[in-house]
Chain A
Amino acid sequence: MEHTLRVFASIACAILLLQGVARAESFDVAQPASKSGQADPHQGADRLFGEIRTYLAATDTGAVSRPRDPASGVLAAASDPPASGSSARAPSYIDPGVCAGCHTQEAQNWAHTTHAKVFTLNPRNALEGQQCQACHGPASEHLRNPLNKTTIIRFTHNGGTPIAQQNAQCLTCHRGGQRIFWSGSAHEGRDVACSDCHNPQANFSARGLTAKRSINETCFQCHATQRAEFRRRSHMPLPEGQISCTDCHNPHGSTTRPLLKANSVNEICYGCHAEKRGPFLFDHAPVRDSCTNCHAPHGSNHEKLLVTAAPLLCQQCHIQPGHDALLMTRGNMAGSSFPDVRLLGRACANCHSQIHGSNSPAGARLQR
């Protein structure tokens, strides 16, 4: 314990030292930052917006989809009021290239994403052809009033667009398929936004446009318990990068409460452990019911992901006359006065080795 405390204390000191050093120095002069005393990015934005207004007044570029005069076919002037006479303008699509005029950085990041490839190289419909506006909606009003959050769909924190509307925008193209049970799912019901887990604006990860460096890290940003469990003594190879959360779960919704990709826990487990699928000549009741009766899939302090150590694990259910219900004690450990095979190593499974089921005609007791 003392050793542990020393380790924590050292690390805490290291963090403080590192923070102090980092804040004392300016590591990167190329980028305006938000810490006090540094450049305010909005000053640049105001200057840019002024230029946009000048640009709008001088050109038609901002209103390619404005209504045309039915007789002449001439575009209505950008400054024309809407036909309805109301003070609100109907937003319309602008030339897709205009967005990058201001959003240079966003455009550069976005250009490497799958969305950009599809939208620019092979748009399958008119909406995809709108590029940025395919997701953010018609930008004409945004162009006129960039500081008004309601003039465009935003996908970021405090962006002003309700999460339901953000998600609906994504589902315009991504409805159905893997997301057919999104509505009413655990994530939808808790107002989790698509862009909590994905960011189509840039590549943060190798695939999936996830919001963190990998699927697993993305899930762990909310599911910290599971992150800790996967660091236990026995765990599936998720921190090692061999599997991901979405091998078992569909975060987009499923017919099960824990968002499993299959209809039952066991059908998920058999995906990698097909040798345990059977059915066997002699099944073991809790195994057939659910693997989670004995195993903790996210990690365990006990070997083989067991929820607790054998023989207690087995003795929670088995008390038949004979040898099952004897209390194993430290006096039964190897090197003690009465070492007992029911405690050592594999414990009960030293004899009942076919605990997942036996296909031997002599295997009713799961020993063959």
Chain B
Amino acid sequence: MSPLRGARPGALILLLIGTPGAAYADSAVGISLGVGNELNPSGLIPGVLTDSRGLSAFISNSRSPSGYLYPKPFLLPELTQDKDAPDWWRSGWADAGVLYNASNTHAATFSEYGDWSSGVIGSFGMYAENRKTANYVSLSGSNIGRDDQSYSLSGGRFGVFRFNLGFVAAPHMLAANATAPWNGIGTSDLTLTPGTVPGAATAAQVRSALSQTLPGNLGFSRTTTGMALSYTPSDTWELFLNAANEWRDGNKPIGSAFSFPGRGAAELVQPVKYRTTDLSIGSRYKGEELQANVTYAGSFFRNDFAALTWDNPGLGTPAGSFAPPRGRIALAPNNDYHTIKADAAWILSDVQVAANASYAIMRQDDDLLPPAANSGRSPVDLANWNTIAALSRRTAKAGLDAVNGFVQFRWNADRDLALTLETRYRNEDNKTDYSAFNPLTGEYGYMGLDGALSRIYTPAIPGTDVPIRNIPFQSNELKITSKADYRAADHTRIALSITHDEIDRANREVLHSRDNSVETDINTTGYEWGTVRFSYSYADRDGSSYVTDPYIFARSSSLPGYVQRPPNGDAPYALNTFRKYDVAGRREHTAKLQSNFVLTEDSDFQLTGSYRRSDYDADYGLRALDTYDANVSYTDRISNALTLTAFYGFQFHWRTAASVNAARSASSDASAGGPNYPAANSWQERVRDTNHVFGINAEYRVGKFSGGLDYTYSQATSDFAYSFAGLGAISSGLTPLEAGFGFPDQQFAHHILEAKLTWTYSEQISLRWYYRLEHETLDDFHYAGLTNLVGNNIFLAAIPQDYTAHVIGFFTQYRM
């Protein structure tokens, strides 16, 4: 397996020569870079001290308007005047140490998003400002040379312009115990070991190949260089430009099959060599009465690999059937995205109008692959299907356009009453139009699974109902909200809103939906005792009649001359009382509570919770969801030296679904209880997710010693229970006793204990100690007992691993 370690060196070189770098946080555009890393998630100066004197000499514990305690501010070092250039003032720090991973775990989830490997670790930061010109520059780096390293160079002139160049590396480890019988992992061509004949391998040969493979890593690194530039030529204008290049390099698993049942599926390893270039440029006008933004954003995705090809061992190929020696799967295609967006707001005395319009296009025009990777007869001559001459078109020409419009009109009818009317419009126009038609043979359909499964329309054979074109999903939505917002008292607002949402879809089971909702809000904010915010909403979605099979136009059954299966016609596409929940009728109640209370001058208590109940108008399919949670949090500033915070959260999610295992009959009856969906084949399943999260945090400072203790415990149980009316609902051959009443519970437990201690030896030097204990256990029935070879199916056996990890670090910091 290809190793995960090692950030892309080219990316760092590009940064150094001034290529696009990291964007700092812009809450309206793009994705920020360099927030932090797992060792230092907040991106703070390591071990920075807080000022125990707090914010003010007059108020010992300041609170936000809603009543939350503010933390203690940082005790930042004063800047030093440069002797040679007295207009410049500067500060800096360098932090270096050793991280020792005292555990022997190689569990992927421990290093999923961070680099905890033993070794030297260093960070630095420098800042300088010119107090005459107001220019400034800042340079920082974190976890130098490690998989989660980041660097940032920023500067500018206060109030006029600013720039930021950045580089961020982020690992994404997926597995550390994957084994595969193929050579060429990390490339786009997986081959079986020499001596093993593709399409005719034996299970023993596959086992032999697996036995010679050491468990390896699956995962990829995400490295990004970016730049952001913002220029404010006047109080009312701002121009900005952001650009970033992101590389993803590594591998990840992907499934594959050559028909079902019988022939084995195989879990493969696909190479990841992605590059995404993002660009946004725009201007913002910020007048007193009129404000406006115009933004262009583009995103361009490129994949070095168009396809993954592999040798098919061919396990489980029925005797006498074609055994495809090779398989080929299309990987993520290159694509382009452009959007232009304009926002405007007019603020008059009693009237405010805000509006937005945007137009986005997504385009993808990759070269298409031949439908099959193999030669020979299967039983058709694959020579007519393994060439791009077998395609109706050589490139994808896929496209989607999206138009958005938004207008909000707000009238302050009275000092205490505001009325709002809001309209949102979105139209998605899918322009992809592909026909599966082979000009070489004049046939509709395609050769599926590289020759293992014919999906070719043969008019002479009644009932050959196969896909013959793509399905362009698209929709059109108009949402209107009216709202009355009344200030009942200085600290109390009451709001009532009504929303009507109309959605028109193409090629879905429900072509027209109406989603009506009513919501009421009560907000009491900033009372001496604290704040309570509560909302309740009821939503009811219905629409046009549910069409069980809206996809006929995309299958051969829509072609002239199509003959249905004799004697009663084709089998039904789906049970006629089955509903897909994303478009089905639905009634929903939602209630949310957020509250926080000032218990004493030094302590906070918070209580939040929510409840949602969704009932779908379905006898079969997803029928209902229930979600609720309750969270409490307590903060106590026990003294100026010690702050304690503890929280607990309980979350519950429940869902139930029902279905009927279709029977093979000659009937075309689509009703429940009929020959195709007999009552004896019906079943239902219920899933109950229960979560507990508990955390405690202590921050302390005693003289020259400071630090923190942080513990988080997360526990989850997912309980799956099912019932079935008869043996027709479950696998043939299974007895009810073997089937049981539910899966073993999915159990997850995760503990993280972090301890930090800093000794500030002098103003310049401090020493820091760090300890982390992380423990995780996971039981998931999908992976219970899973081995590389189960029947004829080959798995990477990347089973989630339990682990206990200890990490110790010693650091020295020098401040200039």
The one of B45, B64, B286, B526 that contacts A199, using a Cβ cutoff of 8 Å: B64
Hey, which chain A residues are within 8 Å of B696, CB to CB? 11, 15
Cα of A272 to Cα of B543 in the assembled complex, Å: 34
The one of A225, A277, A301 that contacts B610, using a Cβ cutoff of 8 Å: A225
Q: Mark A315-331, 1 if CB is under 8 A from B, else 0.
A: 11101111101111111
A206–chain B nearest beta-carbon distance, Å: 4
The answer to whether the Cβ of A70 comes within 8 Å of any Cβ in the partner chain is no
- Which residue of chain B has the shortest Cβ distance to A272 in the bound complex? B31
Say yes or no: A325 contacts B113, CB within 8 Å. no
Give the contacts of B406-422 with A (CB-CB under 8 A).
406, 408, 410, 420, 422
Hey, which chain B residues are within 8 Å of A280, CB to CB? 333, 364, 396, 398, 432
Of the 9-residue stretches B1-9, B67-75, B183-191, which lies at the interface with chain A?
B67-75
The answer to whether the Cβ of A112 comes within 8 Å of any Cβ in the partner chain is yes
- Which residue of chain B has the shortest Cβ distance to A323 in the bound complex? B260
Cα of A106 to Cα of B292 in the assembled complex, Å: 35
The answer to whether the Cβ of B476 comes within 8 Å of any Cβ in the partner chain is no
Say yes or no: A30 contacts B285, CB within 8 Å. no
A7–chain B nearest beta-carbon distance, Å: 7
Q: Mark A169-199, 1 if CB is under 8 A from B, else 0.
A: 0000001111011011000011111011101
Cα of A35 to Cα of B601 in the assembled complex, Å: 8
Hey, which chain A residues are within 8 Å of B41, CB to CB? 214, 216, 239-241
Say yes or no: A277 contacts B602, CB within 8 Å. no
Q: Mark B694-707, 1 if CB is under 8 A from A, else 0.
A: 10101011100000
- Which residue of chain A has the shortest Cβ distance to B643 in the bound complex? A22
Hey, which chain B residues are within 8 Å of A81, CB to CB? none
The 17 listed contacts between A and B (C-beta, < 8 Å) are: A27-B701, A41-B57, A117-B129, A117-B136, A124-B235, A155-B65, A193-B65, A228-B651, A240-B38, A241-B42, A256-B424, A329-B734, A329-B743, A333-B785, A340-B731, A359-B398, A368-B449
Say yes or no: A334 contacts B785, CB within 8 Å. yes
Other A-B pairs, 8, CB within 8 Å; known A192-B525, A204-B73: A31-B54, A35-B602, A103-B56, A156-B65, A243-B35, A281-B396, A321-B573, A339-B790
The one of B64, B473, B608 that contacts A157, using a Cβ cutoff of 8 Å: B64
The answer to whether the Cβ of A136 comes within 8 Å of any Cβ in the partner chain is no
Q: Mark B348-369, 1 if CB is under 8 A from A, else 0.
A: 0000101010101010101011
Hey, which chain B residues are within 8 Å of A33, CB to CB? 60, 602, 639-640
Of the 9-residue stretches A50-58, A60-68, A344-352, which lies at the interface with chain B?
A344-352
The one of A128, A193, A334 that contacts B64, using a Cβ cutoff of 8 Å: A193
The one of A181, A285, A317 that contacts B345, using a Cβ cutoff of 8 Å: A181
Say yes or no: A361 contacts B129, CB within 8 Å. no
A181–chain B nearest beta-carbon distance, Å: 6
Give the contacts of B246-261 with A (CB-CB under 8 A).
253-257, 260-261
A202–chain B nearest beta-carbon distance, Å: 4
Say yes or no: B66 contacts A18, CB within 8 Å. no
Give the contacts of B223-268 with A (CB-CB under 8 A).
232, 234-235, 238, 253-257, 260-261, 264-265, 267
Say yes or no: B432 contacts A225, CB within 8 Å. no
Cα of A344 to Cα of B730 in the assembled complex, Å: 16
Say yes or no: A195 contacts B446, CB within 8 Å. no
Hey, which chain B residues are within 8 Å of A196, CB to CB? 64-66, 68
The answer to whether the Cβ of B795 comes within 8 Å of any Cβ in the partner chain is yes
Say yes or no: B70 contacts A321, CB within 8 Å. no
A170–chain B nearest beta-carbon distance, Å: 12
The answer to whether the Cβ of A76 comes within 8 Å of any Cβ in the partner chain is no
A154–chain B nearest beta-carbon distance, Å: 9
Give the contacts of B34-85 with A (CB-CB under 8 A).
35-38, 40-45, 51-68, 70-71, 73-74, 76
Chain A residues touching B, majority SS = loop
Q: Mark B492-518, 1 if CB is under 8 A from A, else 0.
A: 010100000000000110000000000
Known: A26-B639, A196-B65, A278-B398. A301 touches B746 (CB 8 A): yes
The answer to whether the Cβ of B533 comes within 8 Å of any Cβ in the partner chain is yes
Q: Mark B571-598, 1 if CB is under 8 A from A, else 0.
A: 1111100101110000000000010101
Say yes or no: A231 contacts B257, CB within 8 Å. no
A-B contact count (CB 8 A): 642
The answer to whether the Cβ of B462 comes within 8 Å of any Cβ in the partner chain is no
Say yes or no: A224 contacts B790, CB within 8 Å. no
Known: A317-B580, A343-B782. A157 touches B526 (CB 8 A): yes
The answer to whether the Cβ of A86 comes within 8 Å of any Cβ in the partner chain is no
Cα of A326 to Cα of B660 in the assembled complex, Å: 7
Of the 9-residue stretches B94-102, B714-722, B756-764, which lies at the interface with chain A?
B714-722
Say yes or no: B63 contacts A344, CB within 8 Å. no
The answer to whether the Cβ of A335 comes within 8 Å of any Cβ in the partner chain is yes
The one of A159, A231, A335 that contacts B65, using a Cβ cutoff of 8 Å: A159
Query: Which 5 A-B pairs give the minimum distances between C-beta atoms?
Result: A27-B641, A241-B36, A176-B291, A241-B41, A335-B785
Q: Give how many B residues have a beta carbon under 8 Å from the other chain's beta carbons.
A: 247
Hey, which chain A residues are within 8 Å of B493, CB to CB? 189-191
Hey, which chain B residues are within 8 Å of A224, CB to CB? 606, 608, 631, 633, 647, 649
Cα of A316 to Cα of B58 in the assembled complex, Å: 60
Of the 9-residue stretches A87-95, A137-145, A261-269, which lies at the interface with chain B?
A261-269
Hey, which chain B residues are within 8 Å of A353, CB to CB? 254-256, 329
A15–chain B nearest beta-carbon distance, Å: 6
Known: A121-B134, A176-B292, A180-B354. A341 touches B436 (CB 8 A): no
A332–chain B nearest beta-carbon distance, Å: 6
Q: Mark B424-447, 1 if CB is under 8 A from A, else 0.
A: 101000101010100000000011
Say yes or no: B786 contacts A367, CB within 8 Å. no
Of the 9-residue stretches B202-210, B684-692, B802-810, which lies at the interface with chain A?
B684-692
Say yes or no: A175 contacts B291, CB within 8 Å. yes
Hey, which chain B residues are within 8 Å of A208, CB to CB? 25
Say yes or no: A315 contacts B657, CB within 8 Å. yes
Say yes or no: A361 contacts B369, CB within 8 Å. yes
B4–chain A nearest beta-carbon distance, Å: 15
Hey, which chain B residues are within 8 Å of A221, CB to CB? 68, 606
- Which residue of chain A has the shortest Cβ distance to B722 in the bound complex? A327
The one of A195, A250, A338, A346 that contacts B734, using a Cβ cutoff of 8 Å: A338
Cα of A221 to Cα of B28 in the assembled complex, Å: 21
Cα of A35 to Cα of B692 in the assembled complex, Å: 33
The one of B76, B330, B408, B426 that contacts A360, using a Cβ cutoff of 8 Å: B330
Hey, which chain A residues are within 8 Å of B750, CB to CB? 231, 233
Cα of A11 to Cα of B739 in the assembled complex, Å: 41
- Which residue of chain B has the shortest Cβ distance to A282 in the bound complex? B470
The answer to whether the Cβ of B144 comes within 8 Å of any Cβ in the partner chain is no
Give the contacts of A1-47 with B (CB-CB under 8 A).
4, 7-8, 11, 15, 18-19, 22-23, 25-28, 30-35, 41-42, 44-45
